[in-house]
Structure 1
Amino acid sequence: MDLQQMRYAVAVAETRNFTRAAERCYVTQSSLSHRIAGLERELGVRLFARSSRRVELTDAGEAFVARAREALAAADRAVADAAAATGVVRGRLAVGVIVTTAAVDVPELLQRYRARHPEVRVLLRSGRSDELAAAIRRGELDIAFLGLPEGERPTGVECVALDHDEHVLVVAAGHRLAGAERVTLADITGETFVDFVAGTPARAQSDQAFAAAGLVREVAYEAGVVELITGLIGRGLGVALLPSAFVRPLAAADPGLALVPVADGPHRVEYLAWSRFPPSPATRAMLDVLGAGPRT
């Protein structure tokens, strides 16, 4: 068994397809299949259940791939640590970010990081705060920028608060409340709402605020991206509560939107999160750029 076989097995597990796995690994499908078959013979178990349409992990495959990921991460870390000992930061940095990040200008941050550490391969992934925190715990991400309701903290990871923010009401420019100085949740509970998908941290911020006030609202439109939410609002189909620091630049660029302060609206905390395990040199370098986390 060697590391390349492990990489092939992980690629098949993640793509659920031998052809796509081979493309990812820059080898022919026949070569990858041959190496996987040899690995299964050596282990004496079937790692993958194959059909004409897809590939699934067996129980043995699930167990093997989990440890293979750890072994590959350790090997990559060994290479990165050796380079770091000479003063050069190399390796991979996987960054997670929520779509409403406002505490950090992520493109500017990545540009600054690349200027300092051009030999690090940076990967960027967007998603929900709970998904990104789970990915850090699994070792799939190194750091992530999260947003959670006030009073909640990411679990199972190291974190530092970057910013505290409050939500504002976002309405169409022609809405009856567009010129209001301030509203309360009771004033808007009868409105039709546009919001993030139920069960997500982004949605929980507003849901918890209405529940705490003993109010019930109607969410008619659920969306996973802010562009769709603001598009629906601009068409007069509903209103939304969104973090002020994030939505103010959008409203400034879109005359079809208006923002109204909410006296008892939701509050959000943006966090920087990273693994509780000792960070890699690439991760430590990013924490240094941000002025957060353990020092080297």
Structure 2
Amino acid sequence: MDLDTVRTFVAVADAGQFQEAAAELAVTQQAVSKRIAVLERGVGVRLFTRTARGAELTIDGQAFLPHARELLRVADRAVASVRVGRRPLRVDVLASRGAASGLMRAFHHAHPGTELDVVWLLDMERAVAAVRSGEIDASFRAVGVPGRPLPEDIDSVRVLDEPLQLLTGPAHALADARSVPLARLAGHRIWMPGIVPGSEWAAYYDDLVAEFGLTIEATGPNFGSDALLDTVAGTPALATFMGEHTRLVWPAGHGLRRIPVTDPEPVYPHSLLWHRDNPHPALTALRVHLAALPDRLDAPATWTPSWVLPARDRGNRDGRPPEAGLPASQ
């Protein structure tokens, strides 16, 4: 059913005259007459009776009127749901307990009036496709994975370098260390069953292993973070890596230790990805918020893989377009 004809029907019913309805709709009276005729043919009944005073609803027209009003209300709500600034900002944070989730919680606290939909998309290609299609407005990812360049219509910016920490149980050989040099971890078994082959974090740890001679085991089923913590707490030979901003709670009896890693400090690069033509005002607000984070990107004595794009375009994290001559994606 053509909504223009329904809207014209309601206008005539409210005005009681074809001429007044035409003036309200900014069309000719002839156009109003044609629309009503099309609608009446479509529903198979007469909706108006012409009188000396104008147009009166028939019994069928009276029955149709409340449904016509509801059709228009539903249509208006549908348009409003996707109108820029009217729908929630949809952001992929990869995991509910990770650093990106914490960044979005801080943004929500700073902008409580901004409606948000937070989603978790495991696969990077799926996330990029969702950004390009408009299914989501932004995604937090590590950018620059070898062989997987971003499409030209996707922009990105580094927002957080998250230090990795060593997590051990109380009986591990390094449990009492205040910090541990990265090279000293060679020969220790680091168990990370959640690494997904082909993911950006798999590429990150592959490079970490290759450069520093570490032993990272991704064997065994991944039963989630609780099972990982239970195993590390009770197995002196195993440790695991955990992001500094990862929020986990474990029983006090586990005695787990989070130990800073140094010389160099491995950091995981979190970037925000978005479509360069996305006009959602809350996306700009999010970029401005992230721009105000303390700047520790590419800090001295830190390590990231060689494929991670440098965070040199810091002046454009406020939502402004990049300066001429600089690449849009960082």
TM-score (norm 1): 0.56
CA distance in 2, matches of 1:228, 1:275: 37
SS across alignment from 1:207: helix
Per the alignment, do residues 290 and 212 of structure 1 end up closer, same or farther by CA in structure 2, a change over 3 Å counting?
closer
Per the alignment, do residues 187 and 144 of structure 1 end up closer, same or farther by CA in structure 2, a change over 3 Å counting?
closer
Once the two structures are superposed, the pairs formed by residues 175-194 of structure 1 within 5 Å of their partners are: 175-180=172-177, 181-185=179-183, 187-191=185-189, 193-194=191-192
1:133 aligns with 2:128: yes
Q: Is the 8 A contact 2:189 2:215 kept in 1?
A: no
Please report how far the alpha carbon of residue 150 of structure 1 lies from its aligned counterpart in structure 2 after TM superposition: 9.4
CA distance in 1, matches of 2:274, 2:217: 36
Q: Which amino acid aligns with 2:165?
A: V
Please report how far the alpha carbon of residue 109 of structure 1 lies from its aligned counterpart in structure 2 after TM superposition: 2.0
Q: Is the 8 A contact 2:164 2:265 kept in 1?
A: yes
Please report how far the alpha carbon of residue 129 of structure 1 lies from its aligned counterpart in structure 2 after TM superposition: 6.3
- Corresponding residue number in structure 1 for 2:69: none
CA distance in 2, matches of 1:188, 1:109: 38
CA distance in 1, matches of 2:223, 2:136: 21
Structure 1 alignment gaps of length 5 or more: 4-74, 82-88
Task: Tell me the alpha carbon deviations over residues 197-233 of structure 1, each in whole angstroms, 9 at most, x when there is no partner.
Answer: 3322233322221122355543334538444433332
CA distance in 1, matches of 2:269, 2:147: 8
CA distance in 1, matches of 2:180, 2:195: 26
Larger Rg: 2
CA distance in 2, matches of 1:256, 1:151: 39
Please report how far the alpha carbon of residue 135 of structure 1 lies from its aligned counterpart in structure 2 after TM superposition: 2.1
Structure 2 alignment gaps of length 5 or more: 4-77, 292-316, 322-330
CA distance in 1, matches of 2:142, 2:239: 21
- Corresponding residue number in structure 2 for 1:167: 164
Aligned partner (choices 92, 95, 105) of residue 96 of structure 1: 92
1:270 aligns with 2:270: yes
* Range 202-211 or range 232-241, more displaced: 232-241
Q: Is the 8 A contact 1:185 1:265 kept in 2?
A: no
1:107 aligns with 2:105: yes
Task: Tell me the alpha carbon deviations over residues 70-103 of structure 1, each in whole angstroms, 9 at most, x when there is no partner.
Answer: xxxxx8589624xxxxxxx312321110222158
SS across alignment from 1:239: strand
CA distance in 2, matches of 1:170, 1:179: 11
- Corresponding residue number in structure 1 for 2:56: none
* Range 124-133 or range 183-192, more displaced: 183-192
SS across alignment from 2:229: helix
Q: Is the 8 A contact 1:192 1:218 kept in 2?
A: yes
Q: Is the 8 A contact 1:101 1:246 kept in 2?
A: yes
CA distance in 2, matches of 1:132, 1:267: 22
Q: Is the 8 A contact 1:96 1:126 kept in 2?
A: yes
- Corresponding residue number in structure 2 for 1:16: none
Once the two structures are superposed, the pairs formed by residues 119-158 of structure 1 within 5 Å of their partners are: 120=115, 122-128=116-122, 130=124, 131-147=126-142, 155-156=150-151, 157-158=154-155
Please report how far the alpha carbon of residue 293 of structure 1 lies from its aligned counterpart in structure 2 after TM superposition: 5.1
Per the alignment, do residues 192 and 211 of structure 1 end up closer, same or farther by CA in structure 2, a change over 3 Å counting?
same
CA distance in 1, matches of 2:253, 2:83: 45
- Corresponding residue number in structure 2 for 1:294: 319
CA distance in 2, matches of 1:243, 1:77: 40
Please report how far the alpha carbon of residue 250 of structure 1 lies from its aligned counterpart in structure 2 after TM superposition: 5.3
TM-score (norm 2): 0.51
Once the two structures are superposed, the pairs formed by residues 1-296 of structure 1 within 5 Å of their partners are: 80-81=83-84, 89-99=85-95, 100-101=98-99, 104-113=102-111, 115-117=112-114, 120=115, 122-128=116-122, 130=124, 131-147=126-142, 155-156=150-151, 157-180=154-177, 181-185=179-183, 187-191=185-189, 193-199=191-197, 200-221=199-220, 223=222, 225-236=224-235, 238-246=238-246, 256-262=255-261, 263-264=263-264, 266-291=266-291, 292=317, 294=319
